[in-house]
């Protein structure tokens, strides 16, 4: 399912069998799957572990998993279950020590989710606003040696209105001046193949396409070609 603008009261259910959906996208050429335990993200601990594990067991492509992951033991559990990468979000703001430990232990298999409303970073499944700005957090992540981040503009997410290209361009400029550049994946609002091409031109590593492939606004096979991935 998808949440519009991160609002749990505005959810759209596209299918009731996540494993079948994972197989579907693989069958049409997906080379990586992005899976988030939304209940876990909101409650601060995995809530759909059995479903995530089933997806991992059915997948023949790399899978990155996020949602409610707050400690090293859970990171290890998902990696042992077959996840290629684990996404940490709230930890980056609330528990940087654990995040640093995860980076030291797992390196490239850690991705940090930076979820923003405007310039302010949100935590706890997007339900809380922090006092940290996106540029400040990204600078901190660079200093910690974070290899990769997912930047989501929450107010664009699942709206099919296009990404916030101005904010993304600003983010890429900030990163270019940091001592340890971070690779960026963008999520939120993608609605067309043109959006993917424009993101590629800005130098982002990848884009997460969610609602648009369920509605048919973006053809997955065409998107893979357009993104060069």
Residues of the chain with pLDDT > 90, as a percent, come to: 82
| Calpha distance 111→183 (Å, rounded) | 10
- Specify whether the CB–CB gap between 183 and 147 falls below 8 A: yes
pLDDT digits (tens, 9 = 90+) for 131-184: 999 999 999 999 999 999 999 999 998 889 999 999 999 999 999 999 898 999
Kind of pairing between the strands at 183-187 and 110-117: unpaired
pLDDT digits (tens, 9 = 90+) for 15-70: 689 999 999 999 999 999 999 998 999 899 999 999 999 999 999 999 999 999 99
Residue-range domain boundaries for the chain:
2-227
pLDDT given for residue 127 in this prediction: 85
Please, what is the Cα angle at 121 between 115 and 127, to 5 degrees? 75
What is 2-227's CATH topology?
TIM Barrel (3.20.20)
> Distances from the Cα of 135 to the Cαs of 19, 88, 117, in angstroms?
37, 18, 13
| Calpha distance 206→7 (Å, rounded) | 24
């Amino acid at each position: 399912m998808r949440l519009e603008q991160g609002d749990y009261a505005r959810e759209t259910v596209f299918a009731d069998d996540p494993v079948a959906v994972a197989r579907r996208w693989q069958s049409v050429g997906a080379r990586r799957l992005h899976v988030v335990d939304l209940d876990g993200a909101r409650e601060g601990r995995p809530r759909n572990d059995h479903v995530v594990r089933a997806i991992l067991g059915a997948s023949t492509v790399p899978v990155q998993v996020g949602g409610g992951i707050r400690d090293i033991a859970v990171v290890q559990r998902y990696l042992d279950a077959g996840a290629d990468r684990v996404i940490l979000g709230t930890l980056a703001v609330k528990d940087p020590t654990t995040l640093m430990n995860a980076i030291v232990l797992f390196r490239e298999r850690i991705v940090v989710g930076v979820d923003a409303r405007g310039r302010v970073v949100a935590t706890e499944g997007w339900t809380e606003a922090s006092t940290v700005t996106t540029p400040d957090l990204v600078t901190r992540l660079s200093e910690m040696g974070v290899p990769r981040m997912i930047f989501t503009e929450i107010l664009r997410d699942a709206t099919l209105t296009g990404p916030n290209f101005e904010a993304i361009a600003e983010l890429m400029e900030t990163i270019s001046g940091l001592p340890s550049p971070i690779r960026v994946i963008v999520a939120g609002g993608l609605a067309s193949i043109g959006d993917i091409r424009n993101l590629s031109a800005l130098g982002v590593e990848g884009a997460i396409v969610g609602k648009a492939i369920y509605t048919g606004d973006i053809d997955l096979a065409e998107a893979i070609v357009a993104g060069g991935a």
